[in-house]
Amino acid sequence: MKWKKDSYFDSIERIHKSVELKPILALKNVIAQEPSCSIPISAISKRGLEFDIHIKVARFLRQYPSFFEEFTGPLYSLPWFKLTQEAIEIDREEKRVYEECRDDLRERLKRFVLMSKEKVLPLKIIKGMEWYLGLPSDFLEHFEVNLDGSFRFVEMEDGLKGLAVENIGEEKVLSVLQRNAMKRGLYVGEPMEPIEFPFFPQKGLRLKRKIDHWFNEFQKVPYVSPYEDYSHLDPDSDVGEKRVVGFLHELLSLFVEHSAQRKKLLCLKKYFGLPQKVHRAFERHTHLFYLSLRNNTCTTILKEPFCDKYAIEEHPLARVREKYIKLLKQSKVILKTRRLKNQSDDQGNLGKDLD
């Protein structure tokens, strides 16, 4: 199916602002850990790469006055930065969401691990997906509070430390597609039972007859849940392709923005049994995924939660991030106001000099 630009998906702020928001919140978390919610620039000036910041950290902080307020420190007149009152209030709400929704976040992490080939993932893979899963940066450090008895830390090959999950309960883990199909009475839970993917066609695009026929036949192919054993499947078969598409659907449904940078998903191939050219699944199934080229990167977006608000439940952290994005946009207003004020002051000084 031919890819077509869609202005709606290219304009969703909670998706495309997350690239800019991520390093801001990383710095915010470091400052919020201090009792006074303030920190000298010397404590973070050399940690730019850690926060994925490629300019001087002080310059970066000054770009977001709605988050960070600069003042002169008590010693040696060094610049210090503290959180604004608005940032502190949203940070408190974020921590409250973490406390109230700990079970939900644990369940999302559990599902993420259960989809893997051996039901175990390296900790570095989980750390790399924390932003998308909505987990706080110290979630695994406080495992005695955040994890239950089904999790255990293990040693993996190449000396990697991993997190394994054992499905203790007898209840079968169902994907979002399976649960929605059951609600509509279209699925009873039989093995290799077909489930149709939701269809969200691109606007103004008519399918060729042969593509329409292929898609209808593909919908009749048996559905293999990402939580089931797939070792017996031929990866080049239609069933193998449908299993990959179902995995990507379930993975993006677990994420906060129901989207991710495509290059970030490619590192999952080894541990989730994905084909070498998994990116083709996004290109072949444009009725389910949208590829956005904003921010000089390729972002894959799951269409379903934006086209059918009742199909996939909203992530508990989504509303908090929307508030952060709203605060982020205020920085441009503050900086513009400052520039206009400085220009006015300069003109006033110039008039006095002429007099």
Q: CATH: 2.60.40, 1.10.730, 1.10.10, 1.10.1060. Which one for 103-173?
A: 1.10.10
Question: Angle at CA 134, nearest 5°, toward 130 and 137?
Answer: 50
What DSSP assignment string belongs to 45-79?
A: TT-TGGGT--S-HHHHHHT-TTTEEEEE-SSTT-E
State the pLDDT confidence band at 205, using cuts at 50, 70 and 90: low
Q: At what angle do helices 85-100 and 18-32 cross, to 10 degrees?
A: 90
The partner residues of 165 in beta bridges, in order of sequence, read 151
pLDDT for position 235: 86
Among candidate residues 35, 228, 14, the one with its CA nearest the CA of residue 134: 14
Predicted confidence (pLDDT) at residue 95 exceeds the cutoff of 60:
yes
| Phi, psi angles (nearest 5°) of residue 173 | -80, 125
**How far is residue 44 from each of residues 86, 178, 276, measured CA to CA in Å?**
22, 47, 39
What DSSP assignment string belongs to 291-319?
A: EE-GGGS-EEEESHHHH-TTTSPPPTTHH
Dump pLDDT digits (tens) for 273-327.
999 888 889 988 988 999 999 988 999 999 999 999 889 999 999 999 999 999 9
pLDDT for position 349: 61
| Phi, psi angles (nearest 5°) of residue 149 | -70, -15
Q: How far is CA 73 from the centre of its chain?
A: 36
Alpha carbons 318 and 301: distance in angstroms, whole number: 15
Dump pLDDT digits (tens) for 60-73.
999 999 999 999 98
Domain ranges of the chain: 12-83+317-345, 103-173, 174-314
Dump pLDDT digits (tens) for 14-52.
999 999 999 999 999 999 999 888 999 999 999 999 999
Alpha carbons 219 and 214: distance in angstroms, whole number: 9
- Identical fold between 12-83+317-345 and 103-173: yes
Among candidate residues 165, 81, 80, 82, the one with its CA nearest the CA of residue 121: 165
Any idea which residue has 């999790």 for tokens? 151
Q: Which amino acid is at 118?
A: E
- CATH architecture for the domain at 12-83+317-345: Orthogonal Bundle (1.10)
pLDDT for position 207: 64
For residue 71, give every residue at least 6 positions away whose Cβ sits within 8 Å of its Cβ, in sequence order, or none: 38, 79, 80, 81, 82
Structure tokens at 206: 């008519």
> Within a 10 A sphere around the Cβ of 197, how many other Cβ atoms?
18
Q: Which amino acid is at 210?
A: K
The partner residues of 39 in beta bridges, in order of sequence, read 81
The answer to whether 258 and 252 have CB atoms below 8 angstroms apart is yes
State the pLDDT confidence band at 350, using cuts at 50, 70 and 90: low
Dump pLDDT digits (tens) for 236-251.
899 999 999 999 999 9
- Run of H or E residues at 326: helix 318-354
Any idea which residue has 């979630």 for tokens? 139
Predicted confidence (pLDDT) at residue 345 exceeds the cutoff of 70:
no
Dump pLDDT digits (tens) for 140-196.
999 999 999 899 999 998 889 999 998 666 678 899 999 999 999 998 888 889 999
The answer to whether 312 and 258 have CB atoms below 8 angstroms apart is yes
